[in-house]
Structure 1
């Protein structure tokens, strides 16, 4: 997430944002009209900051809806006109709220009907400001409005979304009704990011996301327990001590020719600061792994009894289970490992091995576990939740990936990290983080074989260092994407662990 967003870590739903605004207004410290003026001024300021050429008068088409989002649009239109801009304002309907009516009264220009706009109103270089619906939309956008937005985009006119692009569900980021929407070049929202800016299609369609402070931070408590952006934490800095002070992670690997995934996991766990990492493999895979590893220690076990004996050592305080493990070996070892109650990460084969009977896995899970499924693995373990997530988003608030992850965490009784560009991490108590590698923070190079194995290692290493499961998963997901962004194009999985030291140095750690 961009620097303008990251310091304000909460990500709100529509209801939470309205609660915060309502608490601020009810306190008597601010009025709705004042907030509207601040919001409109913030949009203009962020436009000029992103596109310095706009400090010179230009041309804008402002699309206003009847609600308070439209009121913001009237303020934007007035401020641009006062700067010498040529402004064409078109309204879907007359303003319907007192604050929007007051803002409209300050606009001295003409007001056109929305359906009167044609391609002639959008010569190249015109800025199209979408102040139609904002966070209040709960039904699909009318096809006529979607066509108008696509027309502006096709004419080469950047779209500035006020609060959120019209047509997006604020709480899920899904396009209501499945319409084809153009992406905004800039989205300016207020006080905090909304879930729809980073989840599902919203991460792709919001463009550059900027958050304007409208002065209501003192009432943020009214939001309850919102999701938060994942990010760096002070505990990433390594304190003084010996190697066992920073934990001993054990990674289970598979047979000959299947060791690459586990090696990636082990190396990442070591790079993120675990004091020791041991890769455990079958005896016939020992030579192969020894030829490829130095700092990572090696042990071999033949069966589940060998694992139980090895885990008699209490200094082994975190387990990485799944990458390259093999389905048969996972069925044999995972439940035995979980029975010891130590912090553990389960990924890949450790999840797929139980696809036919997820209840047997759920019965063995405990609060110190992190599950890290991708979409396919999630569907195998939580088919009902995946099915609901796949259903069309016809009305808002639509069911979101955050909703799915929270329900999955409740069913499993442990932290669930649902992978994706909009990685969502949820704990059974409702705590949630989002590692949003979208928009300006996109990391498309992570779509490469083995990248998930590295994520597993980072999270396992943080568990070994004593991070609570939710924070290990969230911080690990952020660090994983940050390392990918730092490397850039051409990334392969082996590059990721080697990039972690540079990211940590950049944090001052």
Structure 2
């Protein structure tokens, strides 16, 4: 059903799995760039970043038994050549290294100490070149002991690829300690953005190591870091000949007695550019909504038939249900009625939880553009809670046929066809009551203007984070809609 949606292309924001990065190296070699050159460039890039971030000081480079260790030997070589006092410690013997890693280790003419916490003595900078992103088991033995000791101190750690113990595909931490700087190559991996990996990576620098540009196209990644380059070309813009009706009419189901959530969503939709925004409310709630809203219209409904008439009309271009709706059979029925129209629909909060006893009913009802925006608790009530966040969100989108936005500091947006976007611009100030309601409204506003479901979700999540960053500490959910115009001005300039 989403096959007509354009595939979002983000050459520089693409995320590669560990296997895809190995494919990138293999394709680079096939294109004429040797593995030796790639490793040489990688280690040199790490050394350059270290010299850019710090003044000369004693360094210890912790090398592992694979290619990450080879990168470490190159880093040590270039730092020593620049006059830095460098010690190298290794897990195992350098003679067990293979291929280009062994070649580069042979260029190091200094001592190689056995890995243990004692090698950290006197170091004022630590380079973690033990394992990188490819590790799939918990750290143990001297690696775990040495990194744990490093993590207890105040000496900055620089990680090559990822901090050892951070799983590149998932962001899971299996004994990792926090780096202040991580240098990775060609493209980021999901683990650089998914928590807790993102926090453990510190600043992430993506270095160019000579991978041919054609390699990214050949790999055809399906995961991306959220960025305007993915959706800016499709972001709705008011033209000189545009009137309010052509900018879309958003309809929100307004609950009672929890009225604030829908009002926040309404303001989000309007600020996102919807030409008209209406909140349909139970008649008893009309005075409350009407007194609190100006440009946002309020429509009362008394009977289910009244609500049905609203949905069957042609004036509305997209709808939202969930904020303040209540978890009951009435909400369950309203969701099914909205989905039955086939029009673009955003389902949030209570409207998701309403299906906790019959998740299959929700899946069966979705046959048009639909976006689900659960937080972790709501997600677990209707979808499989097991697995890493990226995998779970993709599976939920595939099962339901909807775009799924699994909210959090590392929000994941997934489409039924496997495309996924990880968002990383959300400040911690968004952990405030009502901010999710504003987000669902922003997404609705974009959807009402004709943006596709996947692009609306991605753009809405990014705009939400950017608006929060505008404000800083002390943010309230009601501040968010009024911060959007400044974000749009920068995007359009």
Q: TM-score range by the shorter chain?
A: over 0.9
Cα distance in 2 for partners of 1:157, 1:204 equals 17
Q: TM-score, normalised by structure 1?
A: 0.90
Show the counterpart of 1:231.
227
Show the counterpart of 1:102.
103
Residue 366 of structure 1 deviates from its aligned partner by 2.2
1:330 aligns with 2:353: no
Cα distance in 2 for partners of 1:483, 1:247 equals 22
Cα distance in 2 for partners of 1:282, 1:150 equals 58
Give runs of aligned pairs for residues 53-132 of structure 1, distance below 5 A: 54=54, 56-95=55-94, 96-115=97-116, 117-122=118-123, 126-132=124-130
Residue 282 of structure 1 deviates from its aligned partner by 0.6
Show the counterpart of 2:42.
39
**Runs (5+) with no aligned partner, structure 2:** 1-9
Question: CA offsets per residue over residues 304-328 of structure 1, 9 Å max, x none?
Answer: 3212211233231110110011223
Show the counterpart of 2:267.
267
Among residues 216, 221, 244, which one is paired with 2:217 in the alignment? 221
| SS class of match (1:345) | strand
Show the counterpart of 2:5.
none
Among residues 464, 467, 479, which one is paired with 1:495 in the alignment? 479
| SS class of match (2:405) | strand
1:251 aligns with 2:252: yes
| SS class of match (2:378) | helix
1:297 aligns with 2:300: no
Question: CA offsets per residue over residues 90-146 of structure 1, 9 Å max, x none?
Answer: 011234221001111221211111027355243xxx111000111221211115322
Cα distance in 2 for partners of 1:296, 1:114 equals 65
Kindly tell me: are residues 143 and 285 of structure 1, through their superposed partners in 2, closer, same or farther at Cα, counting changes over 3 Å?
Answer: farther
Say if 2:91 and 2:143, in contact at 8 Å, map to a contact too. Answer: no
| SS class of match (2:116) | helix
Count of residues paired in the alignment = 475
1:464 aligns with 2:464: no
Show the counterpart of 1:428.
416
Cα distance in 1 for partners of 2:49, 2:459 equals 29
Residue 252 of structure 1 deviates from its aligned partner by 0.6
Show the counterpart of 1:287.
287
Q: Which structure has the higher relative contact order (CA within 8 Å, separation 6+)? A: 1
Show the counterpart of 1:418.
406
1:154 aligns with 2:152: yes
Show the counterpart of 1:376.
377
| SS class of match (1:422) | coil
Cα distance in 2 for partners of 1:367, 1:354 equals 18
Q: TM-score, normalised by structure 2?
A: 0.93
* Two-structure CA RMSD over aligned residues (Å): 1.6
Question: Which 4+ stretches in 1 moved above 4 angstroms?
Answer: none
Residue 210 of structure 1 deviates from its aligned partner by 0.8
Residue 75 of structure 1 deviates from its aligned partner by 0.8
Cα distance in 2 for partners of 1:17, 1:341 equals 40
Among residues 435, 450, 454, which one is paired with 1:451 in the alignment? 435
Say if 2:260 and 2:324, in contact at 8 Å, map to a contact too. Answer: yes
